[in-house]
Structure 1
Amino acid sequence: MLPHPDFEALDVPTSIALSDYQLGVLTAADVETDFEAVTRSQSVLQGLFGPDWPEGLTFQDNLIDLHWHHREFTAKRSYAWVIRNRSGAYLGCAYLFPKIGGRGSCDAAYWMADAPERLSHLAAFGPHFEAWLTALLPESLLISFKSNAHL
């Protein structure tokens, strides 16, 4: 699998601290906490990645997705991270994907699991994530950001 041309020269870290948050590569080792968070958060995730996701997601489907995310990360095709707080608690996920079928633009997304502090975490994390990605990526690469803050 070849790297995406927009990402092949990038040195994207597998983990990074962004203020009070820690990003780490999303892998199959995260399947239990990820599946629990996604299924518990269906009402605040629906519409973020299409009209139906995560409706009908099974544990096995999620495991396949996490393997795919990890493989894409190692191949420099797209990137997915778990967002954790300083204590290591799973809060949500962040992603970087090239636009399908083209070059020069990408999508970045992040979400926080349904919890009373979800919106405050999104408000605190978002600016750090967006600033970090903007500094990491070439200026010529257009980035579209989205989150589940509106859901």
Structure 2
Amino acid sequence: MKPHPDFENIDVPQVFSLADYHLKILTKADLDEDYAAVMNSAAVLQGLFDPQWPVGMTRDEDLTDLEWHHREFTARRSFAWVIRDAAGGYLGCAYLAPDIGTRGRGAAVWWFTDTPGRMAHLSAFGPLYEHWLRQMLPETYQLDLHSNAHL
């Protein structure tokens, strides 16, 4: 698989920190935590990616998704990270996906689990993530930003 043209010459890190948030490439090693987090947060995730997701998602389907995310990341086609707190707790995920078939445009999406601190995390993380992305990406890159703050 060839890299997306927007990312041929950009070194997107697999691991990095944004203040108290620690991001690491999302892989099948995260399956148990990811599946629990997604299914326990379905009420605040439904509609973020698809009108029905994650309702009805099976553990095997999540494993397939995680393997796909890992393959896409290593091929430099799209990027997905798990977001953890300083203690290593699973907080949510962040994604960067260039538009397929075009250049200079993509989407950044992030979500946090359905916990009492979710809105505070979304408010704190969003500006950090956007700033980091804008520093990494070309100045003219058009970036659509989405989170589960509205859900």
- What is the TM-score with the length of structure 1 in the denominator? 0.98
SS at match of 1:23: strand
2:105 matched to which residue of 1? Answer: 105
3-state SS of 1:94 partner: strand
2:83 corresponds to:
83
Could you tell me how far apart the structure 2 residues matched to 1:92 and 1:83 are?
A: 5
- What's 2:42 paired with? 42
Matched position secondary structure for 1:81: strand
- Structure 1's consecutive aligned runs of 4 or more residues displaced over 3 angstroms after TM superposition are none
- Could you say what secondary structure the match of 2:121 adopts? helix
Post-superposition CA distance 1:5-40 (Å, at most 9, x none): 011111111111100100000000000000000000
Q: Distance in 2 between matches of 1:33 and 1:133?
A: 26
State the match for 2:71 in structure 1: 71
- CA distance in 1 between counterparts of 2:126 and 2:87 reads 19
Q: Percent identity?
A: 57
Q: How far, CA to CA, are the matches of 1:69 and 1:20 in structure 2?
A: 24
CA-CA distance at 1:101 after TM superposition: 2.8
> Residue 132 of structure 2: SS of its match in structure 1?
helix
> What's the RMSD between the two structures over aligned residues?
0.7
Q: Structure 2 CA distance, aligned partners of 1:130 and 1:25?
A: 18
Gaps of 5+ in 1: none
Which residue of structure 1 lines up, in the alignment, with residue 149 of structure 2? 149
Match of 2:49, as an amino acid? F
The residue that corresponds to 1:56 in the other structure is 56
The 5 A counterparts of 1:3-22 are: 3-22=3-22
Question: Normalization by structure 2: what TM-score?
Answer: 0.98
Deviations 1:83-110 (A, max 9, x none): 0001110000000001133222000000
Cα deviation for residue 82 of structure 1 reads 0.2
What amino acid is aligned across from residue 100 of structure 2 in structure 1? I
Question: How many angstroms apart in 2 are the aligned matches of 1:67 and 1:100?
Answer: 19
